Amino acid sequence: MMRAQLKGIIRKNAAARFWKSIAANKKEEGLGSFAGREKSYRFEHLVFRLAAEEMVSLSKAANLAGVKPAAFREQLDANA
């Protein structure tokens, strides 16, 4: 926060409000919570790439992705 103030990203009074709120919350409870959902798509992308480059069969790729071969084929065609 101090660096943001020194760089002129935030004003001095905004930084002062932040420091006052932190001073009242010594244990910093309630900070940093993320309510959204995170999901990694890396494995799915790798499976699609394997199928697209014909390194594995479509049925094997569908099995790895955990879907039926027909559904996987549709997704592969939609992404192409």
What is the CA angle 57-60-62, rounded to 5?
A: 105
Residue 56 is part of which domain span? 42-79
Axis crossing angle, helix 58-65 with helix 42-52, rounded to the nearest 10: 170
Round to whole Å and give the CA distance between 48 and 65. Answer: 9
| 25 in any annotated domain | no
Neighbours of 48 (CB within 10 A): 18
| 55 in any annotated domain | yes
Reported as a single tens digit per residue, the pLDDT across 22-45 is 888 888 787 777 778 888 899 999
Tell which wins on pLDDT, 35 or 53: 53
| 36 in any annotated domain | no
Residue located via tokens 């790439």? 49
| 69 in any annotated domain | yes
Q: Which of 32-36, 59-63, 75-79 has the lowest mean pLDDT?
A: 32-36
pLDDT, residue 39, reads 86
pLDDT, residue 80, reads 67
Q: Which of 5-9, 36-40, 45-49, 63-67 has the lowest mean pLDDT?
A: 36-40
Domains identified in the chain, total number = 1
